Each structure stands twice: as C-alpha cells, then as structure tokens.
Amino acid sequence: MLVLVVVFALWEAAVVFFKIPVYLLPAPSAIWTETIQIGGTVASHTLATLNTVMLGFLASVVISLPLAVLLTSSRAMANALYPLLVLTQSIPKVALAPLLVVVLGANELPRVVVTFLVAFFPLVLSTAAGLIAVPPELIELGKACKASRLQELLRIRMPYAIPFIFSGLKAAIALSVVGAVVAEFVNADRGLGYFIITATAFFKVPAAWGALIILSLMGIVLFQAVVMIERILFPWAAGDDKPTL
C-alpha cells in the first residue's frame, strides 16, 4: 500500500517537474479528476469487464479440475491430451478472438471463451502436478484402507493437491483479467478494454489511464480474494510460516 502511494507521488512530481504533456503521460491528479467526472460510465464498464473476468475464471475452474484428473489418470490419456492443450496455448488469442466472434456471434460468449483460453492453462498444469506429487506412502495408506480409485482421488489426491490448485487459481485469476481485456479489444461495446480503445481514439488519455489503473486494482483485489479464500477454507495449506503463492 505504502509503495503505491510513493509511486503515485513520484509520478505526480515527475509530470509537473518535467512538464510532460498530458497526451503522453497525465498526472495522477488529472487522471483522478477526469475519471471521477465520468464515474457512472466507468463504473458500468468496470462491471461489464468484471462479469467477463468472473465467467471466464469460473469456466477455467470448472473445466481445468476434471481435465487435470483426466490428464493424470493414465499415460495414454496424458499423451493424447497434452499436445491439444499446448496447441490451445500456442494460438495467439488476439488472432483467435475475431474468428470466435464469427463462429459464436458478437456477444458475451466469445469474450468468455477467450478469457478461459488465456487463464486455464496454468490451473490445469498445477492441479495435475499436485495430483501426481502425492507421496507414495499416502497412496499406500489408501490402498491399505481398501480405498477405491474414486476415494483415492477425493480423499487423498485432491486434498493433497489443494496448495497446488490454489497457486494455479492465483495465476488463473490474474490471467482472466488479461484475457477479458484482450477479448474486449476485439469484440465489445462495453468493458474497460473497449473503453480504453475508444478513449484513446478520442485523445481522452487521462480517462484511458484511469481505466488501466482500475484494471490493475481489479487484478490485485481478485488475487487477494483468492488468497483469502485459501486462508479461510484451507488454513493448513496456506500455512502462516510459508510465503503465499
């Protein structure tokens, strides 16, 4: 928090001292006044983006967890799925987005899909890593207690993977914000990404900066929310002595 205050103070001072023109880099005070002036508009764009971020993030969670289970279920499955997963990551999302609009229509759906595609990969990888990392002794304990494969998954592998899953969730929530904005650049009539494009087109530079700052804050707040959820639901995983992440 203190760091942020210092950064903004230095920024303000630099703009005034070096007389930087407002279309290059507006001072925080200018950003503030302009953004507040159109507060209502900015708020509705923020909500639109937040909506896309959350839907894309939820899709990542709902799809990634079962996908990770499939990936770790057998070598054949892993061999079949990994190339596909890597493919989804090597496609540039900005290039894919317009095509998705053609296929899925100019609505919320392609934005959510792009957000999902940007966000889900680290979640799959870290969940799969957690499911595999279970110490053989714990698997042996399950076997000795006559655990079925499902019981082994739900009562041993999944709980063991919780810290891994949460580090994936933290990456996914941060990437969801990135994904939503990418999607809005390409296809949207609302949202902070769309707002930045139109604002810069009309040289409303301070307002565009305002939107950028709101996006960063949104990223930070959502990330902290995931951290809090982990602390509250799984205190043993968050362990106070360990650094989070």
Partner 1 sequence: MTIVIDDVAKVFDAGDEDVVAINGVSLAIAKHEFVALVGPSGCGKSTLLRLVVGLVKPSRGRVAIDGAPVVDPRADTGIVFQAPTLLPWATILDNVLFPMKLMGRMDARALKQARALLRLTGLEGFEKRYPRELSGGMQQRAGICRALVHDPEILLMDEPFGALDALTREEMTLELLRIWSERPKTILFVTHSIPEAVILADRVVVMSPRPGRIAEIVDVPLPRPRSFAQEADPVFQDRTQHIRTLIFGRDRLAA
Residues that bind partner 1 (CB under 8 A): 137-138, 140-147, 151, 155-156, 159-160, 162, 234, 236-237
> Which CB atom, from 54 or from 155, has the smaller least distance to partner 1?
155
Look up residue 240 and give its DSSP letter.
T
Residue 157 CB, shortest distance to partner 1, in Å, is: 11
Q: Could you tell me the smallest distance in angstroms from the CB atom of residue 229 to partner 1? A: 16
Nearer to partner 1, 104 or 162 (CB): 162
Which residue, 159 or 219, has its beta carbon nearer to partner 1? 159
Minimum CB–partner distance for residue 203 and partner 1 (Å): 55
Q: Nearer Cβ to partner 1, position 22 or 237?
A: 237
Contact partners, residue 185, CB within 8 Å, separation at least 6 = 94, 97, 193, 194, 197
Shortest separation between residue 244's beta carbon and partner 1, angstroms:
17
Nearer to partner 1, 115 or 127 (CB): 127
- Of 51, 24, 45, nearest to 206 by C-alpha is 24
CA distance 7 to 10: 5
As given in the structure block, the two tokens for residue 233 are 């639901």
Least distance in angstroms from the C-beta of 219 to partner 1: 29
Q: How far is the CB of 156 from partner 1 (least distance, A)?
A: 7
Give the whole-angstrom CA distance, residue 90 versus residue 169.
21
* CA separation for the pair 8, 68 (Å, rounded): 42
Select 137 or 189, whichever has its Cβ closest to partner 1.
137
Query: DSSP alpha helices (H): ranges in the chain?
Result: 2-18, 28-37, 39-73, 75-90, 93-104, 108-132, 136-144, 149-151, 158-186, 192-201, 205-233, 235-238
8 Å CB contact between 113 and 199: no
